Amino acid sequence: MAKHKTLPHPRGRAGIFLPMLEKFARFNKALSGWAALIGFAAVVFMVVLTCVDVLGAKLFRTPVPGSLDMIMLAQLMAISLAAGMTLIERRHVSVEFFVFLLPERLRSVVDGLVKALCLALFALIVWRLFDYGFHLQAGHEVTPTAQIPLAPFAYAAALAMVPVCLVLLQQVLGSLLGVPSDEP
């Protein structure tokens, strides 16, 4: 009986895991896209509310009560919901002047470690935001003027960070499997 020679997979160490990683990347992009769309709606809400508030204050001498509270909360939602898509599209700020001097192999190791540390940081942020939301809920904390409960927004910000964690997990897995960083 002749032994068959096994050829290395054309995709390197990723092998059979690459299709799963690609599917995970598509899921992350879809989830982050929906979150970013909701974040964009929060930005539109801020623009409309600011216009109505300014026009009401200047023309009718009646500003929108609690508009600053609502804008503050809409900013929180807009920023936290857009974070996942920002990470996917590489629109975040990064400084890599030292890393480019390293050899390719060491550069990929450093990149993987940084992504793993970022994943740990954002997992910690999710946990602390849920904990913070619990404390806000227990203390019945509200905004100063409009008396809007703050706890749901802390919980929403925590949930908005989950896509960031998923994208970072995808990048860490890709780094472990040797997938170049421009791919999933």
The predicted model scores a pTM of 0.86
**pLDDT of 14 strictly over 70:** no
pLDDT digits (tens, 9 = 90+) for 21-61: 999 999 999 999 999 999 999 999 999 999 999 999 999 99
**pLDDT of 181 strictly over 80:** no
Kindly report the backbone phi and psi dihedral angles of residue 142, in degrees, each rounded to the nearest multiple of 5, phi listed first. Answer: -135, 165
Residue-averaged pLDDT of the chain: 90
**pLDDT of 157 strictly over 90:** yes
The alpha carbon of 66 is separated from its chain's Cα centroid by a whole number of angstroms, namely 28
**pLDDT of 73 strictly over 50:** yes
**pLDDT of 184 strictly over 50:** no
Q: Where are the domains of the chain?
A: 18-89+101-176
